[in-house]
Amino acid sequence: MDFAVNKNEIENNGFTVLNNIYTKQETEDIAAIINSTKNTGDTFRKSKDLFAIRQFLKEIPDVQPLVFNGKLKTIISALFGNDYFSIKSIYFDKPGNSNWFVAYHQDLTISVDKKTEIENFGPWTVKQNQFAVQPPIEILENIFTIRIHLDDTDENNGALKVIPESHLKKIYRPETIDWNTEKEATCNVDKGGVMIMKPLILHSSARTVNNSNRRVIHIEFSNMELPKEIKWAEKLNVN
């Protein structure tokens, strides 16, 4: 397959969508493994509006060979090369009656193994015993995110909305968005499809209005090493 169009979209717009990456059976097999996992512990979060698993690939290693199937590996290699590894993974299940939404933001932090003083790294946060820090901009610019969809997703059940080209503006505070010049795009993705995006693109997610679930596996990748004082919290080679 020729991914030139997708590569151009990522570089210029900050995102692209590719459908038919997983078969219906593959998505169901992934979901079955998730559903059979005990959802207890610090990395699991469950409420009426959201079920989430942080450090997803570490918590449920049995999904790894299914997630990184031949098609996904080909896409990663064609778009980014063979030296990228995953650095963060989260599973979201947004129920059909969910009122949970996320306002416009950029993904500005990385997950690391510990907190320590490093020049140009900060501020720091901790969620469920996981350290996160905002790194220098060149590290953020190097990262790409793949969102694997286990359900058909559109504007009615919380598909991501993005502002194309906003990833090119470095740190872009959402309160400064000028809607006279910016435009919004909704990233509809079929079940078994993926959305690939740069974490600096401004993105948001609306409430669900059609009683349809939205299950997504969110995986971030980099090929950069961190300063010797810290390590990626979830580094996993995928080749």
Dihedral sign of CA atoms 68, 75, 84, 44 in order: negative
pLDDT given for residue 40 in this prediction: 62
Q: With cut-offs at 50, 70 and 90, classify the pLDDT of residue 71.
A: very high
Distance from C-alpha of 100 to C-alpha of 43, rounded to nearest angstrom: 19
pLDDT given for residue 211 in this prediction: 78
> What average pLDDT does the chain have?
92
pLDDT at 46 over 70: no
Looking at residues 53-58, what average pLDDT do you find? 93
**What is the CATH number that goes with domain 4-104+141-237?**
2.60.120.620
pLDDT at 27 over 70: yes
pLDDT at 44 over 70: no
Q: Is 16 helix (H, G, I), strand (E, B) or coil?
A: strand
Dihedral sign of CA atoms 205, 84, 7, 13 in order: positive
DSSP letters for 170-222: SS--GGG--TTT---EE--B-TT-EEEE-TTS-EEEPPB-SS--EEEEEEEEE
Any residues with CB less than 8 A from the CB of 99 and at least 6 apart, and which? 49, 207, 208
For the full predicted model, state whether its pTM sits above 0.75.
yes
Write out pLDDT tens, residues 152-176. Answer: 999 999 899 999 999 999 999 999 9
Whether residue 123 is preceded by a cis peptide bond, meaning omega within 30 degrees of 0, is yes
Hey, how many other C-beta atoms are within 10 angstroms of the C-beta on 27?
Answer: 20
pLDDT at 80 over 90: yes
Dihedral sign of CA atoms 65, 66, 70, 76 in order: negative
Beta bridge partners of 51: 46, 93
pLDDT given for residue 158 in this prediction: 87
Provide, for the chain, the percentages of residues in helix, strand and coil under a 3-state DSSP scheme, each rounded to the nearest 5.
25, 30, 45
What is the domain partition of the chain in residue ranges? Answer: 4-104+141-237
Looking at residues 202-208, what average pLDDT do you find? 91
Q: With cut-offs at 50, 70 and 90, classify the pLDDT of residue 48.
A: low
Dihedral sign of CA atoms 14, 24, 1, 84 in order: positive
